[in-house]
Structure 1
């Protein structure tokens, strides 16, 4: 490598690092826009073909369809996600701001009497708690509440900006996504056959994860939320979000939420509502979990459930609420890359596209190496497939 090539490579590394720093704060929203564009791309093409008879230029038709799909995506995906996030913030803020120490002591006293504790024991516990609630501690608690409120406000502003970026990026990916993919394929230093196989594998495993895990989790969470709403459980949106998360857990699912809810309704003197929720969970939620997931998994399972679980939990840690859906998809894309690399350069048996390319190249390589195209013993053609 000469000096000029090295300098140019160093310049690209520096510029790439700066670009990564700029994209990193918005990375979850960029990835979410890419995932939504991937899901909506087939619909985009079908609608463009439907509008062929409309007297508009092809570019204008593409923009019109992308605008409509972006609006639909905002209503169907972005707005509910934003509402769930706001509800979570409000729940945390409400708990921090409405906590009442004296009322908590009274509730503790009532609980102690229900448990059969003696009055002296209850008085000692209350005295110890009061001794810890000194003015400095109360002041620190107020500071914590104010600090958390400001932090939640900043997070709300950042989320609003991120969602704005998501919407605009989704629109432009729908309009110019083909051009972007072609550019990535052109600049990537990968053999064309391997590159095409990689794109195909990414497409297959991504759709598999979306269908067999993400869509099933959304369906179970929403149906579970409807069941909780029917029996009058409070904070239904928050519990719906929790059920969407736990539905990714293998062998556990949404019963981790509606099961304790049934017990809570029984304990609070609502046996009729508890029975209704129990029957709803068995007749609706369990059937959806067993049969709907089985249908999608049997057809095209992209990842093992344990890997999906890691993707969900790790995605939430890394990307926030967006990681709930992006984590499994990113692991699926990583798996696709490993599969194609193993088929092209490793020990995995290549599939049809790579195998056909290998059969086309093998005779030429063989002749270049030793000039032999027939069997030296009997003169018959050597089978190179």
Structure 2
């Protein structure tokens, strides 16, 4: 490599580092737009022949925005309605009497002990509220700054989604040209990435929907209010393996214990420990492992690590990135490492191959 080529390579490395630093603050939005464009691309291919690439990309981008905003507004209104309804129906005196009854009848505490616990709980609650107000005021500038950053990131997300749909073919063709791989290796890599990405997305969504619906069914049968709202919450939480819907159904056990007695509370507890836990553990392991080839432990690492690195979008991006990495390793092993192993093993096999007729090989013939 001559001096000019070396200098040019160093310049490319420097520019790549600068580009990485520029993209890093927006990485989650860039990768989220790429993943959503990948999901919407089949619909784009069907719509493009009728209205053109630009109009099709604009329509799908608009539908994606509406599809994200409308459920968010519905969930927000449902949360507000639930809070208002709970605050309206809540009778503090009645609730305290029920808690005292449970403490004395179920746990066998005397009256003085219950009163001391009640006083300590009230003091702790007042101190916690005061601390929460102070923390909120101290963090207000940071929250405003974070909100501005999120708004800019979502704007970038929308623009990238549109252009990835409209000009995605040109980007893929450019990648095919610049990737330093042979044609068959490159095509196999792209096919493997497409297969594992779809497998992770479909299995992830399947487990979340099934677990959320089963949780909602249990709430409906046992008389927990606002079933539709809690079903949506459980579908969202089901994307978090090892966390999951127990965050919802465990407090529901306490709610049923206070409002309906021990029978329904025990039924909810058993339903959560058996049905919901089995679905979370076994269905997730079966669907994810069979569809994408990823072990459930790898999916857990992908989800939790993806959230740390990429925020809420890491729920999907984390497992997908690990699946893509595994696909790249599989293709590299198949196309590069295995041929090299065969090439190294062939001379060894030839060298150790026994001679079929040692006497004829060692003794010269009469003609010689």
Same fold (TM over 0.5): yes
How far off is 1:187 after superposition? 1.2
How far off is 1:341 after superposition? 1.0
* Partner in structure 1 of residue 237 of structure 2: 245
Q: Give the greater-gyration-radius structure (CA).
A: 2
8 A contact 2:241–2:280 mirrored in 1: no
* Partner in structure 2 of residue 308 of structure 1: 299
Say whether residues 1:21 and 2:21 are aligned partners.
Answer: yes
8 A contact 1:308–1:328 mirrored in 2: yes
8 A contact 2:253–2:268 mirrored in 1: yes
- Structure 2 gap segments, 5+ residues each: 84-91, 347-355, 357-368
How many residues matched? 330
* Partner in structure 1 of residue 53 of structure 2: 62
Distance in 2 (CA, whole Å) between partners of 1:151 and 1:237 is: 30
SS of the residue corresponding to residue 52 of structure 2 reads helix
Using the size of structure 2 for normalisation, the TM-score is 0.69
Distance in 2 (CA, whole Å) between partners of 1:303 and 1:345 is: 22
Per-residue displacement from partner, 1:343-369 (whole Å, max 9, x unpaired)?
11224999xxxxxxx9xxx9xxx9xxx
Aligned CA distance change for structure 1 residues 71 and 130 (closer, same or farther; 3 Å): closer
8 A contact 1:343–1:349 mirrored in 2: no
How do residues 213-362 of structure 1 correspond to structure 2 at under 5 angstroms?
213-218=204-209, 220-221=211-212, 224=215, 231=223, 233=225, 240-241=232-233, 243-249=235-241, 254=245, 257-258=248-249, 260-269=251-260, 300-347=291-338
Distance in 1 (CA, whole Å) between partners of 2:4 and 2:28 is: 36
Distance in 1 (CA, whole Å) between partners of 2:147 and 2:44 is: 31
Aligned CA distance change for structure 1 residues 76 and 162 (closer, same or farther; 3 Å): same
8 A contact 2:249–2:272 mirrored in 1: yes
Aligned CA distance change for structure 1 residues 65 and 270 (closer, same or farther; 3 Å): farther
* Partner in structure 2 of residue 48 of structure 1: 48
* Partner in structure 1 of residue 159 of structure 2: 168
Distance in 2 (CA, whole Å) between partners of 1:141 and 1:248 is: 27
Distance in 2 (CA, whole Å) between partners of 1:272 and 1:318 is: 43
* Partner in structure 1 of residue 10 of structure 2: 10
How do residues 144-223 of structure 1 correspond to structure 2 at under 5 angstroms?
144-218=135-209, 220-221=211-212
Using the size of structure 1 for normalisation, the TM-score is 0.66
Distance in 2 (CA, whole Å) between partners of 1:254 and 1:129 is: 29
8 A contact 1:312–1:328 mirrored in 2: yes
How do residues 82-121 of structure 1 correspond to structure 2 at under 5 angstroms?
114=103, 116=109, 119=112
How far off is 1:248 after superposition? 4.8
Per-residue displacement from partner, 1:114-142 (whole Å, max 9, x unpaired)?
463674896699689979x99xx998764
8 A contact 1:228–1:236 mirrored in 2: no
Distance in 2 (CA, whole Å) between partners of 1:349 and 1:290 is: 40
RMSD of the TM alignment (CA)?
5.0
How far off is 1:183 after superposition? 0.8
Distance in 2 (CA, whole Å) between partners of 1:126 and 1:241 is: 34
How do residues 133-152 of structure 1 correspond to structure 2 at under 5 angstroms?
142-152=133-143
- Structure 1 gap segments, 5+ residues each: 52-59, 95-102, 351-357, 367-376, 378-385
How far off is 1:325 after superposition? 1.3
Distance in 1 (CA, whole Å) between partners of 2:115 and 2:268 is: 37
